[in-house]
């Protein structure tokens, strides 16, 4: 793999960098009521340090064993909870990571790394509105470059661009910040400006490679794909954090058995080019964008070099795919009626616009439909429903089932004042300034 393209997003400096305490542990915890507090504390610190090393070595399962043992010994230590969350992330267990970072912030509300990781875990779970709220709640402690890119991953690339442009203009702004801005522009559909920003730090040949990687990255098949690719992990079926580790569970002194856990061979990984420019040393050491079995779809659609024309990179690679998919499926016209397929409720029409673009990538036949939307208020907040409809009930149900079969979420309902979406007829650009 080209080392010039092997660096991670800026946000990984908080994701895996910083002070990493870690861990070594036999999975069986024994009663340690007779041990004194200093010995227990030393043992927990040793376990946490080994968990940190296992995370850096991308041994997620081993890191989880160590970190869970450290938390069992010292359940009120925010640093150990943070390492536990990082370990779950490395193991592809995003729901457990979510809980671990919530616990971390309960103990240490100003932990920027935990706040950023919580937003990423929520994004991987498909809880984009929750991730955006987490980023907003901790905007004062998460660096703008990290927060901007995390916001783009959480479905608001336009908002991310608004954060990253000023950050990139700061006197000390580095290439990582500029590349995060470029990626946010790409995710927003503004490939022309993305190319211009990327070219500030890369050679012309590497610009095409970078945009090719981002074209792949911008087409996830599942909610967890982009975060999993960022970390180089495979999402797992998550049983959840052990009940015994709940933050408010009664504390019980424990100790480790003497034996070290049996060494397990690390799973084979396939390196892919990274998604941003050269990073600082701590980030490069973590190498969080090496990717193994996270699939974005057929590789031949995205690894080809993008053409020199700045505005065309994604359109030229995507349009034939959509046309071919439509030709193969040849869907019959949907009968008219008063039923709608709702794809979600978003913070604003702009965010819903991005949601519609993701929905079409998931199910290309939606390109034949007209997006609808309507604003509504709930608990003092205003949201924008995204739907497609005016169908007979059976046809609406069939369309929703097709979308669910591709991993999407939807439901059908009768019309409730749905109107043609605000952005229809106003061009396809998602980002504007």
Q: Please tell me the predicted confidence (pLDDT) of residue 335.
A: 82
- Rounded Cα–Cα distance for residues 218 and 187 (Å): 6
Pair 158, 431: CB distance under 8 Å: yes
Domains of the chain (ranges; CATH) run 3-28+37-236+272-286 (1.25.40.10), 331-420 (3.30.70.1070)
Is the whole-model pTM more than 0.95?
no
Q: Please tell me the predicted confidence (pLDDT) of residue 425.
A: 62
CB neighbour list of residue 120: distance below 8 Å, 6 or more residues apart: 11, 15, 89, 131, 150, 153, 227, 230
* pLDDT tens per residue, range 366-394: 988 999 988 888 777 888 889 998 899 98
* pLDDT tens per residue, range 82-112: 999 999 999 999 999 999 999 999 999 999 9
CB neighbour list of residue 341: distance below 8 Å, 6 or more residues apart: 387, 388, 389, 391, 396, 399, 400, 403, 410, 411, 412
Q: Which two tokens stand for residue 413?
A: 């309902």
Which residues of the chain have a pLDDT value below 70? 1-35, 249-332, 425-433
State the DSSP code for 292.
S
Q: Please tell me the predicted confidence (pLDDT) of residue 387.
A: 93
Kindly write down the DSSP assignment for every residue of 8-21, as one continuous string. Answer: --TTHHHHT-S---
For the chain, the farthest-separated pair of C-alpha atoms sits apart, in whole angstroms, at 74
Q: Please tell me the predicted confidence (pLDDT) of residue 249.
A: 63
């Amino acid at each position: 793999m080209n080392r010039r393209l092997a660096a991670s997003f800026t946000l990984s400096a908080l994701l895996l960098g910083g002070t990493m305490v870690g861990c070594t542990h036999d999975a069986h915890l024994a009663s340690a009521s007779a041990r004194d507090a200093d010995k227990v504390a030393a043992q927990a610190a040793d376990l946490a340090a080994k968990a940190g090393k296992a995370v850096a070595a991308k041994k997620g399962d081993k890191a989880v064993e160590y970190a869970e043992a450290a938390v069992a010994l010292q359940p009120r230590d925010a640093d150990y909870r943070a390492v536990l969350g990082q370990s779950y992330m490395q193991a592809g267990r995003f729901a457990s990571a979510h809980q671990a970072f919530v616990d971390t912030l309960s103990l240490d509300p100003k932990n920027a790394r935990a706040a950023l990781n919580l937003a990423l875990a929520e994004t991987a779970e498909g809880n984009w509105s929750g991730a955006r709220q987490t980023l907003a709640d901790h905007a004062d402690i998460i660096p703008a470059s990290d927060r901007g890119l995390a916001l783009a991953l959480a479905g608001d690339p336009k908002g991310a661009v608004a954060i990253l442009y000023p950050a990139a203009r700061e006197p000390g702004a580095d290439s990582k910040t500029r590349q995060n801005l470029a990626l946010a522009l790409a995710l927003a559909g503004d490939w022309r400006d993305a190319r211009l920003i990327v070219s500030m730090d890369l050679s012309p040949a590497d610009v095409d490679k970078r945009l090719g990687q981002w074209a792949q990255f911008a087409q996830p098949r599942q909610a967890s794909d982009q975060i999993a690719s960022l970390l180089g992990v495979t999402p797992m079926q998550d049983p959840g954090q052990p009940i015994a580790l709940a933050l408010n569970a009664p504390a019980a002194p424990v100790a480790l058995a003497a034996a070290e856990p049996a060494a397990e061979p690390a799973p084979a990984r396939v390196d892919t080019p990274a998604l941003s420019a050269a990073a600082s040393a701590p980030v490069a050491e973590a190498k969080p964008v090496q990717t193994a079995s996270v699939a974005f779809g057929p590789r031949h659609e995205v690894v080809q070099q993008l053409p020199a024309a700045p505005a065309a990179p994604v359109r030229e690679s995507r349009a034939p795919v959509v046309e071919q998919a439509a030709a193969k499926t040849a869907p019959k016209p949907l009968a008219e009626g008063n039923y709608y397929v709702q794809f979600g409720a978003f913070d604003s029409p702009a965010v819903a616009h991005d949601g519609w673009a993701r929905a079409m990538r998931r199910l290309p036949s939606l390109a034949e439909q007209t997006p609808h939307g309507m604003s509504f208020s709930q608990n003092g907040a205003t949201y924008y429903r995204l739907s497609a409809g005016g169908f007979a009930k059976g046809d609406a149900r069939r369309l929703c089932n097709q979308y669910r079969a591709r991993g999407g979420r939807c439901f059908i309902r009768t019309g409730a004042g749905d109107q043609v979406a605000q952005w229809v007829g106003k061009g396809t650009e998602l980002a504007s300034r």
